[in-house]
């Protein structure tokens, strides 16, 4: 991370091409990550009651609730999907299996609570 920016061609320098650009880690910078879902979300206006929905469109086809006929809670689908994303990311870097089970398993229950 470059808190003061960097030169677009000589990335080790600031814009003046003379001063070395200071770098900090993502941990030091306090980076925040957001999970977003464009185009396949359900919208509920502020103050409205969240309702059940139907539909099978979605990036994660492992979601047990997805149905064109049986209404389901879209919030629970989001939780399951985030759990699946985290499981995949943790497995990709061989993250601690015991921690993965503790963190991810509750998010990916077949019968959500």
Q: What is the pTM of this model?
A: 0.59
Taking the C-alpha atoms of residue 10 and residue 104, their distance in angstroms, rounded to an integer, is 41
pLDDT of residue 47: 92
- CB-CB neighbours of 1 under 10 Å: 12
Bridge partners, residue 55, by sequence: 67
Q: What is the pLDDT of residue 97?
A: 66
Do 77 and 57 touch, CB atoms closer than 8 A? no
Q: What pLDDT does 66 receive? A: 84
For the ranges 9-13, 16-20, 102-106, the maximum mean pLDDT occurs at: 16-20
Q: Residue 14: what pLDDT?
A: 92
List the end-to-end C-alpha distance of the chain, in Å, as a whole number.
39
pLDDT (average), residues 82-90:
81
């Amino acid at each position: 991370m470059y808190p003061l920016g960097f030169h677009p061609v000589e990335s080790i320098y600031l814009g003046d091409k003379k001063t070395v650009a200071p770098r900090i880690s993502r941990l030091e910078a306090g980076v925040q990550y957001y999970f977003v879902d464009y185009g396949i979300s359900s919208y509920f206006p502020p103050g409205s009651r969240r309702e059940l929905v139907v539909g099978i469109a979605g990036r994660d086809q492992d979601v047990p609730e997805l149905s064109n006929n049986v209404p389901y809670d879209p919030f629970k689908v989001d939780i399951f999907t985030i759990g699946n994303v985290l499981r995949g990311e943790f497995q990709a870097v061989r993250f601690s299996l015991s921690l993965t089970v503790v963190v991810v398993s509750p998010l990916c229950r077949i019968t959500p609570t």
